[in-house]
């Protein structure tokens, strides 16, 4: 797919494109998921958008309704009958345009609905595929579309005054840590969320500090710095592949055995789980999130942590990392190693509520009012724990909480688990 082939959001929905995208995507698994729905509506009760608003249109499976309709009309066994008798109408441009709000503004692709469905349908997987089709229709939200296009072309979602490479070195100088950059060979290749570069430089420094403490050979690569993948958010499947390829190529170039992802949830989904499929073969290195990497090092005895100052914290589980990614125990093991008392929220681990910013929603301006309503659900759970400190391990979640802190004038500020680890490091071999 070339850039020219994709319609810009400005020119209105392209139904044929959407359907083509969907037809391409539909395989036996998704078809089975679409076939299985019994319209019980139970998925609504897992979704924080529905819980916050009680508005039935936010029922997760309703968000893929046009594509269910298209599947039944075009691909399913009964498609000829549906077409012959007109039981299922053709999806219209208006309908698709209306669904933009449901597929982007009001869905974080957090996957909580996939856990409640009594038919076992992975609703989140369907939504991701529907986003692909929406992108083909030219219906990706402008913010996501532009960032994705920019990142595909330049490697950065947005242009910056100084290149990220330079900013990275400046952060190293400011925090007094060495930033390993563009080594030709390294065990571990590092990357960084541009959110951290711009908003949370301390997190970048923490990553560098932890790596140097562990003494593992590692490097950032100028041509594959950014961990985020706006292609994933926008539903631009091929752009997502191209963006992932930058990191994959660089990891191969420096013969890395591990591609270490920073605290960034969707980067984990994009690279840990989806990159190889888009690449078309298995990746020649492993992909780990820094959280699970540190937990592994801890278990291996290579990482030694001191008792932390914080007494009580609560931990926000990033959906992509924990619920959808399986990194559930790692953050808790790290906290335990630092003797931090963890007050769990009512819904935690795999059942945690999304912060409301995932799936690119934090970047969609028109989604903000609705996002604040869902944030109230999350804030209530956090406040109910009574813990004064909120920790998380995803910079997008952190950004969302910070945004809420300003909006609600909330008394909690999110902190990074990685930073907490970095500030409680013992020198190798000293032991607690």
Binders of another protein in range 159-178 (CB under 8 A): none
The least CB distance from residue 120 to another protein, in Å, is: 3
Count how many Cα atoms sit within 13 Å of the Cα of residue 31 in the half-sphere of its side chain.
Answer: 15
The least CB distance from residue 46 to another protein, in Å, is: 6
Q: What are phi and psi of 391, to 5 degrees?
A: -115, 150
The smaller minimum CB distance to another protein, of residues 216 and 283, is found at: 283
State the DSSP H helix or E strand holding residue 316, giving kind and residue range, or none if neither.
Answer: strand 312-316
The least CB distance from residue 372 to another protein, in Å, is: 22
**Should residue 118 be labelled a site residue for another protein when binding is judged by CB under 8 A?**
yes
Question: d(Cα 147, Cα 361) in Å, to the nearest integer?
Answer: 13
The smaller minimum CB distance to another protein, of residues 121 and 254, is found at: 121
Of residues 75, 98, 199, 217, which one binds another protein by CB under 8 A?
75
Binders of another protein in range 329-358 (CB under 8 A): 346-347, 349-351
414: CB partners within 8 A, 6+ apart:
316, 390, 391, 392, 397, 398, 401, 402, 405
Binders of another protein in range 294-323 (CB under 8 A): 322-323
Question: d(Cα 284, Cα 203) in Å, to the nearest integer?
Answer: 28
* Binding segment toward another protein, per CB under 8 A, in 111-119, 177-185, 186-194, 415-423: 111-119
The smaller minimum CB distance to another protein, of residues 120 and 388, is found at: 120
The least CB distance from residue 29 to another protein, in Å, is: 7
**Should residue 76 be labelled a site residue for another protein when binding is judged by CB under 8 A?**
yes
State the DSSP H helix or E strand holding residue 229, giving kind and residue range, or none if neither.
Answer: none
Count how many Cα atoms sit within 13 Å of the Cα of residue 128 in the half-sphere of its side chain.
Answer: 23
The smaller minimum CB distance to another protein, of residues 117 and 144, is found at: 117
Binders of another protein in range 37-66 (CB under 8 A): 38-42, 44-46, 50-51, 54, 56-57, 59, 61-62
Question: d(Cα 307, Cα 382) in Å, to the nearest integer?
Answer: 24
**Should residue 431 be labelled a site residue for another protein when binding is judged by CB under 8 A?**
no
Binders of another protein in range 260-299 (CB under 8 A): 272-277, 279-283, 286-287
**Should residue 111 be labelled a site residue for another protein when binding is judged by CB under 8 A?**
yes
- Chain-centre distance of CA 10, in angstroms? 26
**Should residue 325 be labelled a site residue for another protein when binding is judged by CB under 8 A?**
yes
**Should residue 86 be labelled a site residue for another protein when binding is judged by CB under 8 A?**
no
Nearest one of 418, 419, 393, 390 to 404, comparing CA atoms: 390
The smaller minimum CB distance to another protein, of residues 122 and 363, is found at: 122
The least CB distance from residue 81 to another protein, in Å, is: 8
162: phi > 0 → left, psi -120 to 50 → alpha, else beta; which? beta
Is residue 121 within 8 A of residue 46, CB to CB? The reply is no
User: Residue count at the site for another protein (CB under 8 A)?
Assistant: 71
- Chain-centre distance of CA 227, in angstroms? 10
The least CB distance from residue 337 to another protein, in Å, is: 21
Q: What are phi and psi of 306, to 5 degrees?
A: -90, 170
Is residue 143 within 8 A of residue 364, CB to CB? The reply is yes
Binders of another protein in range 374-403 (CB under 8 A): none
Is residue 13 within 8 A of residue 138, CB to CB? The reply is yes
Is residue 226 within 8 A of residue 198, CB to CB? The reply is no
Of residues 24, 154, 255, 311, which one binds another protein by CB under 8 A?
24
* Binding segment toward another protein, per CB under 8 A, in 120-128, 196-204, 295-303, 368-376: 120-128
**Should residue 121 be labelled a site residue for another protein when binding is judged by CB under 8 A?**
yes
The least CB distance from residue 161 to another protein, in Å, is: 37
The least CB distance from residue 263 to another protein, in Å, is: 18
Question: d(Cα 259, Cα 279) in Å, to the nearest integer?
Answer: 15
**Should residue 79 be labelled a site residue for another protein when binding is judged by CB under 8 A?**
yes
Question: What proportions of the chain, in percent to the nearest 5, are helix, strand and coil?
Answer: 55, 10, 35
């Amino acid at each position: 797919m070339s850039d020219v082939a994709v319609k810009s959001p400005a020119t209105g929905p392209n139904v044929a494109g959407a359907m083509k995208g969907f037809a391409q995507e539909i395989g036996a698994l998704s078809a089975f998921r679409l076939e299985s729905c019994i319209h019980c509506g139970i998925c609504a009760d897992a979704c924080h958008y529905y819980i916050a608003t009680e508005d039935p249109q936010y029922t997760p499976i309703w968000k893929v309704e046009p594509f269910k309709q298209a599947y039944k009309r075009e691909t399913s066994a009964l498609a000829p009958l549906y077409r012959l008798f007109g039981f299922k109408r053709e999806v219209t441009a208006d309908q698709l345009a209306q669904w933009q709000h449901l597929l982007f503004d009001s869905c974080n692709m957090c996957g909580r609905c996939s856990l409640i469905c009594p038919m076992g349908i992975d609703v989140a997987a369907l939504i991701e595929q529907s986003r692909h089709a929406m992108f083909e229709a030219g219906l990706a939200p402008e913010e996501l579309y532009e960032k994705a296009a920019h990142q595909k072309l330049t490697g950065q979602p947005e242009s910056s005054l100084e290149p990220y490479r330079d900013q990275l070195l400046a952060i190293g100088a400011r925090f007094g840590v060495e930033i390993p950059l563009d080594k030709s060979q390294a065990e571990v290749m590092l990357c960084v969320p541009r959110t951290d570069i711009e908003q949370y430089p301390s997190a970048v420094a923490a990553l560098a500090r932890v790596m140097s403490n562990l003494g593992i050979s590692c490097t950032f690569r100028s041509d594959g710095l950014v961990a985020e993948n706006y292609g994933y958010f926008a539903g631009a499947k091929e752009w997502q592949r191209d963006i992932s390829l930058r990191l994959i190529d660089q990891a191969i170039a420096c013969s890395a055995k591990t591609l270490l992802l920073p605290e960034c949830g969707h980067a984990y989904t994009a690279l840990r789980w989806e990159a190889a499929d888009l690449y078309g073969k298995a990746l020649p290195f492993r992909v780990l999130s820094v959280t699970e990497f540190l937990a592994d090092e801890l278990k291996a005895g290579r990482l030694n942590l001191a008792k932390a100052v914080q007494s009580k914290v609560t931990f926000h589980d990033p959906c992509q990392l924990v619920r959808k990614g399986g990194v559930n125990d790692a953050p808790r093991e790290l906290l335990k190693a630092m003797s931090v008392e963890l007050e769990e929220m009512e819904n935690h681990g795999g059942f945690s509520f999304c912060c409301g910013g995932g799936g690119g929603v934090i970047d969609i301006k028109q989604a903000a009012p609705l996002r604040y309503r869902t944030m109230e659900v999350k804030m209530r759970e956090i406040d109910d724990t009574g813990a004064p400190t909120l920790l998380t391990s995803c910079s997008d979640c952190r950004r969302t909480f910070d945004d809420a802190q300003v909006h609600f004038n909330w008394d909690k500020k999110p902190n990074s688990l990685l930073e907490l680890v970095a500030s409680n490091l013992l020198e190798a071999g000293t032991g607690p």
